[in-house]
Every structure is written in C-alpha cells, then in structure tokens.
Copies of this chain bind each other. A is one copy, B any other.
Amino acid sequence: MNTKGVSIDFDGSIGPWIGKTTKIVDYYLQEIFNKHGVDLTKEQMIVLKKLHDTDGLNQNELAFLTYRDKSSLARLLSKMEKKKFIFRKQNMEDRRANDVFLTPEGRAVFARTRPAIKELLETMEENITKEEKQQVIKILKKVQYNFTAQKASL
C-alpha cells in the first residue's frame, strides 16, 4: 500500500534513479574525454573496448555484445572508420560479413581513454566502499535478470 492512496510510488523506485544517474555519469564522461583530448563518444569507446578485447569481431557480434541494433552499430562504425580508428574487412568465408579491426590510431585513442576513465571512476566512486559497490551491482544484476528472464518466457 502506498502513502498516497492509489498512486504508484514511481519516484521511490529504482527506475528514475538509475536513469538520472546514468545521465549525469554520461555527461561527465564526455566532459572528461574532451578534457583529455579523447575524440570519442561513450558509445564509440564501448565498441573500441570490445575490439581491444577481441579484434576481428564482425558487425553482428559487435552489435550483440554492445546491446545495439545492427543498424546503430553500422552507423557507429562508419563514423569510427571515417576517423580511421577501425576498418572493415570482408570475410572471405562468408562474404556477407564484415570483420572489424582496430587501426594503430584506434589503439592509440583507446590508450588515451584509460587515464580519462581512471579520473571518472575516482570522482564517481568517492566515499563508496567496495561492499556498497558490490551490493549495487548485485541488485542491478537482479533487475536485469527480472527483465531478461521475462522476455525469455515469451
């Protein structure tokens, strides 16, 4: 039962809080990237990170790993290709597929990403204990599970 009769306590739920926090973190991340001369958006950084972990993934795999529509990913890659951070190479076994690789320039920006991320984390996690961090992650995982389990049963 809510304090306000039939009304739903949306503001007291996690939803708006993660939304707002994400917005603030994203904004600050972009600001730090600019300060460090990192010519990347957050989204491009995420793709770069995946390629840094596993070079040569194709667009389909990258889209899946980054939770993006394949069309969004394609356009993201086009921007990054124009900036010479990655290149596409048609796969000769399956000529529909493009394998995606980091260029030396791509590796270089990604390297410059590290001190920026470090600064971000230092600000973000100030006065937050390791236990609190783990607690939050545990519950966020639960939220994700609640939705993805739901979807799987449809």
Contact = CB atoms under 8 A, between A and B. Distances in A.
A22 B14 contact: no
A123 B147 contact: yes
Interface residues of A, number: 47
17 contacts: A7-B114, A8-B114, A13-B121, A13-B124, A14-B128, A14-B136, A15-B25, A15-B121, A17-B141, A19-B25, A20-B67, A23-B67, A25-B147, A28-B147, A123-B147, A127-B146, A136-B139
Interface of A: 7-8, 10, 12-15, 17-26, 28-29, 49, 67, 114, 117-118, 120-121, 123-128, 132-133, 135-137, 139-144, 146-148, 150
Closest 7 CB pairs of A and B: A22-B22, A21-B140, A17-B140, A126-B146, A18-B18, A28-B147, A136-B139
